[in-house]
Homo-oligomer: A and B are copies of this chain.
Amino acid sequence: MGITKSEHFTDEQNELATLAKAIGHPARIAIIQHLIKVNSCVCGDIVNELPLAQPTVSQHLKELKNAGLIKGNFEGNAICYCLNEEGFNKIKDFFQHINTYLENKKNQCC
């Protein structure tokens, strides 16, 4: 089959999965790290930073954008990308929940 049975899961579960999946590629991790590192809007030098061809980078940017993790504005004929808080805020709560749980859990068999 190969189709993820999204309809059997909650919207929250599907949304979190989509976000995590979008982050789940080293090229997309690299893009996120680069956007943080340069601490400003990046107008296209992402292609030069990555060991991938331009169409491939464009595809990764598209996936991050679709997931709501980055956003881009036209700036002349270039595009200015930066992180999108909305997307990251959605994951933040999930991980904070997990961390709180892990800090307090006791008497587990493993």
Contact = CB atoms under 8 A, between A and B. Distances in A.
Interface of A: 4-6, 8-10, 13-14, 16-30, 32-33, 36, 39-41, 51-52, 71-73, 75, 80-83, 85, 88, 91-92, 95, 97-99, 101-102, 105, 108-110
Copies of this chain, whole number: 2
Contact of A101 (B36, B52, B72, B97): B36
A71 B9 contact: no
Given A13-B33, A17-B25, A30-B9, A83 B109 contact: no
A33 B10 CA distance: 12
Given A24-B24, A108-B40, A88 B98 contact: yes
Nearest to A106: B39
